[in-house]
Amino acid sequence: MKKYFKKLFNKDETYFKNTNELTDSFADSLALDLKRSAIDAVLSQLKKSEGKYLSTILKQSYFPIESLIFHPLDNATALETEEFFRIHSEIDQDFEIKFFKNILLKEYRTDLGACAMVPNDLIPSVQPNAHSMDNPTGDESYQITLRGSKKRFSAEVKLGILKQKNQAAEDIPKERNQEPSTFQHIDSAPKYKESQSRRMDQSTVTVNITDANGEHHHTIQTPFLMGRESAKDTEIGMEKININGMYVSRHQMIVFMLNDVVYGFIPKDASLVGVAGRRGTLQKLHLVEIDHSGLTITFGQPVETINPTVDLSKPNLYPTIHIRRGNTTPTRHESTPIPRITK
């Protein structure tokens, strides 16, 4: 017993410095914060919807949770969370999925009986927004310490339509599998939908990327996707270039060729957009032409912010790409070719 207390109060003992305990403590704290944010967000959405239905209907039905996104509320939390998932995902690619599966409840219920259930194929994510770039001042940090723990995340939840409880939760993935696996928001992009019914033109494109991995260069055929690496990359139906950075979406930009012109656009489900020099902030689903002179884009711009906030000096946070059109692979057309008129 004396040896035990001697070791306990002896700060020079090396065994006392256990980094695993620090990591476990951070993981427990992170799990608790995300769990609280999910509960608050889901119950808030349920309370907004439950007033439209009779209580007898609510008790026999449930709302499927279609999406769940967590937003860090300060820069330090964003960086720590990103590093935590990045390090562990390098060891286990499914770590992030398993982590969220352990913190989510099977169902969420209000006092009036409204219920939301988590489908088997739900994949929550952590995505930064404008608040994720804030740094608390010294006074704010001091006040937070005096109060104890603070709210580190907000959550954004989307509920599906009301379903009967006798319709098993495993039926939800089957319904979704009937929908096209390739991005549905592509159909909303001008001129892109009609190109799916015929053979897609191809063009060689060179992409120079500066991100957390340094500088790397790619030569690729259209169409392709650029964005952060994701476990579901095999389901997108096209090639992908991975960009490693703090503020970049998994589906950040799609590049394709139509009528001998190469276009790029930011998909609808991207949580962040980019800044393209003099062109300013790029908008979702807005086509930008990519020619031989090239286009430089810095990602990480919040959607709701008009003025550019990206920092070119920090590519590990705000990756920059320079995309340029190369040689075109000609395709056969049955119609008579029309010469272009030089203005």
Say yes or no: 43 and 168 in one domain: yes
In a domain, 109, yes or no: yes
- Token pair of 159 as six digits: 């509920």
Residue among 271, 255, 275 at smallest CA distance from 319: 275
In a domain, 123, yes or no: yes
Say yes or no: 32 and 157 in one domain: yes
In a domain, 5, yes or no: no
Q: How far apart are CA 33 and CA 103, in angstroms?
A: 10
| Domain ranges, residue 67 | 10-177
In a domain, 202, yes or no: yes
Asked if residues 300 and 291 have their Cβ atoms less than 8 Å apart, the reply is no
Say yes or no: 143 and 54 in one domain: yes
Say yes or no: 171 and 241 in one domain: no
- Token pair of 136 as six digits: 């608390």
Say yes or no: 33 and 139 in one domain: yes
What was the pLDDT predicted at 7?
Answer: 46
Say yes or no: 202 and 171 in one domain: no
| Distance between start and end Cα atoms, the chain | 92
Q: Digits of tens for pLDDT over the chain (343 positions)?
A: 444 444 444 444 444 444 455 567 788 889 989 999 999 999 999 999 888 888 888 888 999 999 999 998 888 888 889 889 989 888 888 898 899 999 999 999 998 889 999 998 898 988 887 776 766 555 544 444 344 457 889 999 999 988 888 754 444 444 444 444 334 444 444 444 444 434 456 789 999 999 999 999 999 999 999 999 887 777 777 899 999 998 999 899 999 888 888 999 999 888 899 999 878 889 888 889 998 888 999 999 988 877 888 988 999 999 999 999 875 444 444 445 555 555 4
In a domain, 335, yes or no: no
Q: Please identify which residue in the block is written with the tokens 């089957």.
A: 174
Say yes or no: 32 and 87 in one domain: yes
Check the CA dihedral 332-333-338-342 and report its sign. Answer: negative
Furthest CA-CA distance within the chain? 95
In a domain, 338, yes or no: no
What was the pLDDT predicted at 23?
Answer: 61
Residue that is last in its domain, among 153, 177, 201: 177
CB neighbours (10 Å) of residue 41? 20
Say yes or no: 163 and 20 in one domain: yes
CATH classification at residue 218 = 2.60.200.10
What was the pLDDT predicted at 56?
Answer: 82
Say yes or no: 160 and 267 in one domain: no
In a domain, 336, yes or no: no
Three-state DSSP class for residue 34? helix
What was the pLDDT predicted at 327?
Answer: 59
In a domain, 94, yes or no: yes
What was the pLDDT predicted at 232?
Answer: 73
Pairing of strands 107-109, 115-117: antiparallel
The domain total for the chain is 2
Say yes or no: 198 and 320 in one domain: yes
Q: Which strand (E) or helix (H) includes residue 97?
A: helix 95-103
Say yes or no: 137 and 246 in one domain: no
Q: Please identify which residue in the block is written with the tokens 């928001």.
A: 185
Residue that is last in its domain, among 143, 177, 211: 177
Say yes or no: 141 and 198 in one domain: no
Residue that is last in its domain, among 123, 143, 177: 177
Contacts of 254 (CB under 8 A, 6+ apart): 183, 186, 189, 223, 224, 225, 226, 238, 264, 265, 267
Asked if residues 120 and 171 have their Cβ atoms less than 8 Å apart, the reply is no
